[in-house]
Amino acid sequence: MRIVAVLAIVAGLFFIAYEWAESPASQLFGATVVHGPANLREVALTFDDGPNPPYTNAILRVLKTERVHATFFVVGRAVAAYPATVRMEARDGDAIGNHTWNHAHLIVLDPQQIDRSLQRTDAAIEKAAGVRTTIVRPPFGARDWLVLSELRRLGYTPVMWSVPLARDWNDPPPAVIARRVLRYVRNGSIIVLHDGNRGLVCAREHLATHVCDRSNVVAATRIIVKALKRRGYRFVTIPQMLHQQ
């Protein structure tokens, strides 16, 4: 029983250490962008896992109506399936970042696989929208020394986030998503919402509609943007935020 108890304690401590090392704010494995300047009343709204029409397109309409810009970290396989949506993102003045080809956990890939995943996604983005990105968000926020070293070698700036994830993928009501985000926003915050589901192409893969349904995120985006504008925040893209640091 003592051995079991010791093993349980060791496993618990290992899990706590892992969670701390992989937390968005951790710089243990190397420098990442977590937030913008604390002296500027601005935020960066970012979306992961798309494009995913019609929901990404609906988010773009919200942003255009509210006259704000966001950053979309796109998954390559979804870009290849929905290039018109990515063109719309670029046309509207939103920034585009790399979120790998198929949302793979980078820690389990070797450098060659990481390279292929990112470059394949970059090629899809450039073909769709004619833009070249140098910002990347590792899926799940997962990284280690080898992953960040490879990202730097390839010329990418890894971007994390400062506002805790709203777990919008679990389909909570829009007001709940907004409340989970707004309570943590400060000057320079980087917010993450999800306009897709790991880059899945539901129509092609014959998946259930609810797997890709992000109508709650569309509605939450409107609430969040309106609330932060009332608080006096200005919305910037990640490249704009990096330019100010």
115 is catalytic: no
Number of compact structural domains in the chain: 2
Domain extent at residue 20? 1-30
Q: Does 45 lie in the same domain as 156?
A: yes
7-52: pLDDT as tens digits: 444 444 343 444 445 689 999 999 999 999 999 999 999 999 999 9
Question: Which pTM was predicted?
Answer: 0.91
194 is catalytic: yes
Residues 195 and 154 in one domain: yes
Task: Determine the pLDDT at residue 210.
Answer: 86
DSSP state for residue 74 in the 8-state scheme: E
pLDDT in tens, 91-109: 999 999 999 999 999 999 9
Catalytic position from the list 35, 99, 103, 194: 194
Q: Are 112 and 24 found together in one domain?
A: no
Q: What is the domain-level CATH number for residue 184?
A: 3.20.20.370
Angle between helices 83-91 and 111-129 in degrees, nearest 10? 70
| Catalytic member of 48, 49, 122, 168 | 48
Question: 91-102 burial by CB neighbour count: b if 16+ within 10 A, else e?
Answer: eeebbbbbbbbb
Q: What is the pLDDT of residues 197-243, one digit of tens each?
A: 999 998 788 888 889 999 999 999 999 999 999 999 999 999 999 99
168 with 118, same domain: the answer is: yes
Same-domain check for residues 134 and 211:
yes
Are both 133 and 19 inside the same structural domain?
no
Q: Give yes or no: residues 26 and 80 share one domain.
A: no
